[in-house]
Amino acid sequence: MASGRQEVRIPSAPVLVENREFSVSNIVMVKLSPDPGALPSLPSPREGETIRLTIDGEPPHKDVHFSIRNLKHRRYESFSKLRNAAIDAMKGRRWYDGPVQLDITLFAPTLQKNLIDYMGGIMDTLDGSHGATYTYLPVAYQDDCQVVTGQTKFVKSKETKYQLTITFLSKTRSRR
């Protein structure tokens, strides 16, 4: 075996271990924190399919100084809440590889951030990413550059909530 690696099988998942002295008694179950998300078991949504979400509270926002994906961010809960709702809405399906339309409607008494910051935070929440202290699998799409169109609007309301409509667009363009 190259580089002294051993293959250890733990319920059908091969694991490569650098240490030649590895023994089964050294196995420790580790919970990843934060949870990177479950591996999808079903195919991606179909072209033209739409997912709609309504989430109570303020949406995650883009913060260029301190990532909202970081557990220590004061608004991490808004990131986690949207991410979990989107994972549920995807119903075990793989993220989409084609272009996406994202429509956002924010209902609140006043705007705490500008709509562009909310849009950036929402788009970042729905894709995959990694940093020094976290790794997240994609949820709705691989990268936010796949969001090619959409609308973002604010509606004055006593309640604070937001609605998302994610539409998975055609991967092919008509040729004229």
Q: What is the 3-state secondary structure (H, E, C) of 58-74?
A: CCCCCCCCCCCCCCCCC
Looking at the predicted structure, is the pLDDT value of residue 85 above 90? yes
Q: Which residue has the tokens 């935070």?
A: 121
Question: Where is pLDDT greater, at 107 or 31?
Answer: 107
CA separation for the pair 36, 56 (Å, rounded): 23
For the segment 101-114, the average pLDDT, to the nearest whole number, is 96
∠ CA(135), CA(141), CA(146), 5° rounding? 120
In a domain, 37, yes or no: no
In a domain, 13, yes or no: no
pTM: predicted TM-score of the whole model, two decimal places: 0.77
In a domain, 21, yes or no: no
Name the pLDDT band for 63 (thresholds 50, 70, 90).
confident
Domain that residue 148 falls in: 50-168
